[in-house]
Amino acid sequence: MTGVARIALAMLVAVSMPTTARGAQERVESRAEKTSLEEWARSISGRKSYGLYLLGSKVGWIIDEREVTSEDGELVFRHRNRTFMDAEFVGMRSTSDSVETILYALEGEGEIVGVHVRAEEDGLHTLLVGERQMDEQQESVLSLISSAEGRVSNREVPVPRMTLAHQRDLAEWLAGSPAAGESFVQWATNWEAVDVNESTTLAYVGRRTLQWGGLPLEVHDVRAEFRGLRGKGELGADGVPLRGSMGGAGEWRLEPERTVKDLDASADMLVAAGVPVDRLLGPPEQVEELVLRLHGLGDFPLPTSGRQIKRVDEEGQVLVHLRRDAPAGAGPLDDEQRERLLGPTPRIQCRDARIVELAQGLTDPEAPAVENARRLAGWVFDNMEQSMAAGAPTALDVLERRAGDCTELTLIFVALARAAGLPAREVGGVMHVPVSPPIFAWHAWAEIHDGTDWISVDPTWNELPVDATHLKLSTQWDDVAWLSLLGGLRLEVVEVRPAGDVR
């Protein structure tokens, strides 16, 4: 699955599922009586289904089940959801199918006591199992064991902030007539991140009554912000989502289960998500300098550097000046940045022996950083099959499959770079694709730090530095704020300088 689809799906799931929440705690906690966790859990038990829409096309669904049940002789609240997505990218079909089961205690705050996630993405099967334990300091932690293609890894994380008590507090908060603009934080989990806690900030808009299945239903309208991406949603009185959207990319809707799995005929999502531009630019790798006028940028915080300069003209329109090889002007990294950008994450296993051995065999510790980055990018370009239907969530998965799109190729490059002692990060944005009608397609590439500055590297096209059609919109893999630009951003070419045009 392409990076755009994967991130959009993660965003949809994070904001559409009835996860736990905390907000306006003072008012909630001031209530004299609270519904017991077990009573609350039984009241929200049931089964619901949601359709997932990307760029107007129905590309997936979620079946959500919640019940009080017995596990190993103890009553727990079990929340299980199955998420399926099927879409087409450049003629290649990409599918993902996952089942996540989370067990909550029915005592205390209702913490997570167990998790089980089984997923299949484009033929790659992964499994995550976790249970609450006590660590050496006698503190409660969640022990996670993950496996993929016979490979096993484990780690411990603090018990997530997502609890059953917070979900109960959300419903009580909604029932307490919050003022317009009042906000609270809704918690979810991201098992791929170093910090598994993920938050969505909800701001109250108001309440209304509508007809749902022929019966009156109280609905609470909220605005949402998730990793800088803004959206809106409709919640039932119990806090369970009914409908919502995020940015210009995705939408989720509560639908009857008998029809929720009826997906739309596939449109090419990569083309549909493309940013239109008013003219062809020729082969992207030959573009040395480019000036674009950006329409529909709004208040999006466009990253800037020596190679990507933003300015506003006399008419108030935003222009960006892109150059292939201009210094970014970042300066040296501090110790914290260097440690973080050389270190491993659950996705980037840069200290795994297989990745370290490969990186050391491809690089020379005495060579300049740029030369070693060039060698690594060349190896990725020569040894990885480019495929839109070979999704892989970790660098080791990519290394074993030897295939992927720009997301996977960038991921393995960053892991190799860090293993070779080069601070590296994943970045994203759009780049020109010479098709008709012309577009800038969503794309991922990398940056390495040579000790004084950031240097752009595109292992998918073996470019270092990248050509001037690479318009950067994000500087970290989990940034989804740029999805708000989908369907609204439009580019106009002001000036272009191809290779060989000396001015």
The model's pLDDT over 328-344, given as tens digits with 9 standing for 90+, comes to 777 899 999 999 999 99
How much is the pTM?
A: 0.84
Looking at residue 61, its pLDDT comes to 94
pLDDT for 27? 42
Gap between the Cα atoms of 277 and 260, Å rounded? 35
Average pLDDT of the chain is 86
Between CA 62 and CA 53 the distance in angstroms is 11
Count CB neighbours of 334 within 10 A.
Answer: 9
The residues, any chain, with a CB within 8 Å of residue 473's CB and separated by 6 or more, are 300, 302, 303, 428, 429, 430, 482, 485
pLDDT of residue 501: 58
What average pLDDT does the segment 210-235 reach?
Answer: 85
Longest dimension (CA), the chain: 78
pLDDT at position 424 over 60: yes
20, 164 in Cβ contact below 8 A?
yes
- pLDDT score, position 90: 64
Query: For the segment 187-212, what is each residue's pLDDT rounded down to a tens digit?
Result: 888 888 888 898 889 899 999 988 77
pLDDT, average across residues 390-399: 86
Residue 181 pLDDT exceeds 90: yes
State yes or no: pLDDT of 296 exceeds 80: yes
The pLDDT assigned to 15 comes to: 46
**What was the pLDDT predicted at 319?**
96
Give residue 3's pLDDT band: very low, low, confident or very high (50, 70, 90): very low
Tokens encoding 330:
């970042």
Q: Identify the pLDDT of residue 500.
A: 60
The pLDDT-based confidence of 11 (bands split at 50, 70, 90) is: very low
Q: What is the pLDDT of residue 357?
A: 96
User: Best-predicted range by mean pLDDT among 41-45, 250-254, 413-417?
Assistant: 413-417
Q: At residue 17, does pLDDT exceed 60?
A: no
Range name among 10-14, 105-109, 237-241, 312-316 with the lowest pLDDT average: 10-14
Instruction: Report yes or no: 236 and 218 within 8 Å, Cβ to Cβ.
Output: yes
Average pLDDT of span 275-289: 93
305: its two tokens: 């550097």
pLDDT for 110 equals 93
pLDDT given for residue 129 in this prediction: 94
Distance CA 103, CA 107 (A): 12
Q: What is the mean pLDDT of the segment spanning 486-502? A: 83
What pLDDT was estimated at residue 502? 46
pLDDT of residue 25: 40
Name the strand (E) or helix (H) holding 271. Answer: helix 269-272
Query: Given a cut of 70, is residue 12 above it in pLDDT?
Result: no
Q: Where are the alpha helices (DSSP H) in 123-190?
A: 164-175
Looking at residue 24, what is its pLDDT? 40
Tens digit of each residue's pLDDT (9 = 90 or more) over 35-66: 789 998 998 899 999 999 887 889 899 999 99
Q: Residue 408 — very low, low, confident or very high, per pLDDT cuts 50/70/90? A: very high
Give the pLDDT of residue 137: 75
Q: Which residues contact 102 (CB under 8 A, 6 or more apart)?
A: 78, 79, 80, 112, 114, 115, 189
Contact yes or no for 92/389 (Cβ under 8 A): yes
Angle at 200 between CA 197 and CA 202, to 5 degrees: 145
Helix, strand, coil fractions of the chain, as percent rounded to 5: 20, 45, 35
What angle (nearest 5°) sits at the alpha carbon of residue 392, between those of residues 388 and 394?
145
